[in-house]
Amino acid sequence: MIARGKRRFAAALLAVFTLWPLVHFSLVRAYELDAWKFGGWAMYTVVNFLPKIEVYALHEAGREELGLGSHRFPRSREAHEQLVFDTKFYGALANPESLARAAADEAGGDVAIEIAITRFFIDPRSDRVSARRRSFFYDSPH
């Protein structure tokens, strides 16, 4: 007779396998996690567009978009790529602070930073491409 422990192990495995997709759905809804990933069997359910991330330096005169393509911002460019990656997979759980710090340093140090994250989706009411934009503000470190 097979050890009862093995049967219980198999049953526990099935219980986890059954419950995880429900947790997955809640996390996707709450934090905009990538529905296609993390083993929740929600691939081919939603269109997963790449997020658009803009970085601004905030001056008294107004705000200026930082051209991260320039050679002045090597660390910011790297942090920007990382944030695009993190936002695509972890949604609202992605933390823009590293990008803000790198951008502030490379923009001269004494500057406040705004990071705007835009996520595209297809609005089910209008059937058109729509976007949700969140902005994060970081004071000047000095």
Token look-up 């500057």 returns 111
Stretch that binds other proteins, among 44-52, 55-63, 70-78, 134-142 (CB under 8 A): 44-52
Name which of 130 and 135 has its Cβ closer to other proteins. Answer: 130
- Scanning 41-49, 61-69, 75-83, 103-111 for contacts with other proteins by CB under 8 A, the matching segment is 41-49
How many CB atoms within 10 Å of residue 34? 17
Residues in 109-138 at the binding interface with other proteins, rule: CB under 8 A: 120, 122, 124, 126-131
Counting Cα atoms < 13 Å in the Cβ hemisphere of 7 gives 4
Which of 17, 137 has the CB closer to other proteins?
17
CA distances from 11 to 3, 17, 41 (A): 13, 10, 20
Least distance between other proteins and beta carbon 85 (Å): 9
Residue range at the interface with other proteins (CB under 8 A); choices 6-14, 65-73, 75-83, 108-116: 6-14
- Which lies closer to other proteins via its Cβ, residue 45 or residue 109? 45
Q: Which stretch binds other proteins (CB under 8 A): 8-16, 53-61, 70-78, 101-109?
A: 8-16
Say which residues have a Cβ less than 8 Å from residue 67's Cβ, sequence separation at least 6: 73
Question: DSSP letter string over 32-91?
Answer: ---TTSTTSS-TTSS--PPPEEEEEEEETTEEEE--TTSTT-HHHHHHHHHHHHHHHHHG
Helix (H, G, I), strand (E, B) or coil at 115: strand
Residues at the site binding other proteins, with contacts judged by CB under 8 A? 1-2, 4, 6-11, 13-14, 17-18, 21, 25, 34-47, 49, 52, 89-90, 120, 122, 124, 126-131
